[in-house]
Amino acid sequence: MLKASSPNDRILERFIKFLFRGDYYLNSFKAIQRIRNEGCYSPNDFYLLAENKVCGIYPKDFIMIYEYIEGEPYLKQENNAKFKEKIKIEIEKLHSHNFVFGGDINRSNILLSCNQIRFIDIEGKLPSRFNKAEDRISMEKFLGIPNTNKDFGYLLATLKRNLRKIARKIKGKS
């Protein structure tokens, strides 16, 4: 699967994040390789990352090649409790290997392939309690999988979401 990206929005914000966190897609590439080396094969493999860098430093354009996975999309299994339990177990396994989605868990990125849960088009974020909580909140919101761990990260994530809602109401975007 080929994915090309040339983000033109929030350039200053992206550059500042790059200065503090490093190359986002390169870090994702390394994180996926690390967990696959540790025996977690649910994320699709990341074969190639090519970047066009500004001044040889800041990555501006990206081309990525991911493993293509044949499988049945989540939408066809939406009401299957066993499928949801498998998703929850697989995400908990990824969290135990310090791999998080950072709240980017959605129906279109989950497949059932050869009776295994597979995640496509994902990038790993920094493994923090906050990002793990964002994943659990996304599982509850988009997949209907209840969050049973309401730790400090969960409190921070819900606070952030509530503050964003208030800010949107103030701006009139609801």
**pLDDT tens profile 3-43:** 888 878 788 888 888 888 888 888 888 888 999 999 998 98
CA distances (Å), 151 to each of 21, 135, 164, in order?
25, 13, 20
CA–CA separation, 100 vs 133, rounded Å?
Answer: 9
Q: Which of 56-65, 113-122, 148-157, 161-170 has the lowest mean pLDDT?
A: 56-65
Q: Compute the average pLDDT of residues 38-54.
A: 87
Strands 46-54 and 2-5: unpaired
Distance linking the first and last C-alpha atoms of the chain: 36
Helix-, strand-, coil-residue percentages of the chain, each rounded to 5: 50, 20, 30
By the 10 Å C-beta count (0-12 exposed, 13-18 middle, 19+ buried), 68 is classed as: exposed
pLDDT-based confidence at 51, cuts 50/70/90? confident
Q: For 54-101, how does the pLDDT look when each residue is reduced to its tens digit (9 = 90+)?
A: 877 778 888 889 889 998 888 777 677 888 889 999 999 999 999 988
Which amino acid is it at 5?
A: S
Q: What does 22-79 look like in DSSP terms, one character per residue?
A: --HHHHHHHHHHHHHHTT---BPPEEEEEEEEETTTEEEEEEEEE-----EEGGGGTT
